[in-house]
A and B are shown apart, each in its own frame.
Chain A
């Protein structure tokens, strides 16, 4: 009988967090294949009853080696026989499990999967493209600029600047720079920016707001959280500036105390982000709010623990959230590739290849 396969791990900075998400999903769903994607990119079927500590030293003992064949009717194979999978539940964070790479493989194998499709996954992982897509859809965003050579002229907005790796989903590598020469020096000095950095103005006096959306059985918004600006983040420091990093100065607020206008903006913008970014399943959208004005910051298309802790009003259990996600994928189409237009006409009239090279 076909059952879901929960895929977790993967060659990503967030490999370990993904194991925690994956094991939660496995436990909540019950009868599933547990598919562990190792740090080196290898595939294994693991006992669904494993604990997080079983993965501390790498691939757990007695795991069954799998292979992945990206061809129609194939997918995950054990000794050349495909696992009987109806839906792949993707519980990967950051890296190729969230950036569209795995989604593309599953498309090619003709498998249904949870979360957004390949292109939307890639969009969510590219901070420059995501910001541009939101701006093009008419949504409020911060101006963003790319720093790729480290010799660019200063942008037309002033500092201080937030400097982020262009690709990737975690907060690793994010810095706050006082001025433009510092941005360029960071770009040149840090390996986190090898694939380019995006910069945006630092909104002094702003706060983060995070909310989850889900798209099945109907579009829904979770409670809105004002997260603590913790170890890797930013926290309120004094009236003028915000400090970068350091200790937690205040606990997170869930649900956040908000002006009605702010709540209304977050709800309205979240529906539009869902459409413009092609979100599916459960996603988390991050906003910045200052003096009642809300701007779209980033999206996380596969948030840690599927952002289950945000669904408190009305409460939705983890089991329910994960089951709905599976049902959504199960009831959706597989991606079809079209060969229409390639009926041989161009080939028949082509002549020799040598004549093309001329």
Chain B
């Protein structure tokens, strides 16, 4: 779908359909709005290229998902009525922050494969690694060697990220959103791949309980045989859930 400049050219989005948009879709890390091409066929929707991905330039500062939500807030002005928010993974983090910060301007949400909570305690770096890091700080281990070691230890996303995007990734993976989930006033559909090994169904189940405990409305649907990349692996399921939430 053709790109459209939003916010005076600060952001770009693929626009779907002929009518005024009713869905705002936010993609995962390292992806772009086009991931939703098959999910959004037949809808009036905007699928943004998040800053640092696709056609949209990177943010100038290492911001987290809350900062991304701030950057996207002006986009809500485009919609005649509060849009359905569709977010996958990194985009889901931002969707939750955007909805929590703008309760009256956001419609129902569809969230897929999103690490809203941490499941395992984060591992402290090994003594050896911390030693090398401090040797780098005092100039004994070169920056080039340090970068090699960082890359060897990092996830594929970390290795692929450069400049401010790497700082953003580090910031984002350490975030959780209990507070935002507790404040959601809109209905949340959690749509998860049963075979998602990056963000297991357990995360969705815990998120579901947390939202409900806070008085929010949430449902979970697990898609058997689907992995983490719900937008590209199960676009029909997303389209079906969008239909359902828009019909209600």
Interface residues in chain A, defined as those with a beta carbon under 8 Å from any beta carbon in chain B: 159-160, 175-179, 181-182, 184-186, 188-190, 202, 237-238, 241, 243-247
Contacts and interface: CB of A to CB of B under 8 A. Distances in A.
A245 B32 contact: yes
Contact of B1 (A159, A188, A189, A244): A244
A178 B57 CA distance: 18
A185 B12 contact: yes
B2 interface: yes
A243 B37 contact: yes
Contacts of B35: 246
Contacts of A181: 5, 9
Given A178-B15, A245-B32, A247-B232, A186 B5 contact: yes
Given A175-B55, A190-B55, A246 B37 contact: yes
A186 B12 contact: yes
Nearest to A183: B5
B13 to A, nearest CB: 9
B3 interface: yes
Nearest to A163: B3
Contact of A182 (B5, B38, B232): B5
A247 B3 contact: no
A227 to B, nearest CB: 18
Interface residues of B, number: 21
Interface of B: 1-5, 8-10, 12, 14-15, 32, 34-35, 37-38, 41, 55-57, 232
A20 B201 CA distance: 41
Contact of A238 (B14, B34, B41, B232): B41
Contacts of A237: 1, 37, 41
Nearest to A159: B2
A175 B9 CA distance: 14
Contacts of A159: 2
A200 to B, nearest CB: 13
Contacts of B2: 159-160, 176-178, 182, 202, 241, 244
B1 A176 contact: yes
A185 B54 CA distance: 14
B34 A189 contact: no
A243 B12 contact: no
Contact of A185 (B9, B15, B38): B9
Contacts of A246: 34-35, 37-38, 232
A351 B1 CA distance: 67
A188 B37 CA distance: 25
A177 B5 CA distance: 8
A189 B9 contact: yes
A240 to B, nearest CB: 9
Nearest to B7: A185
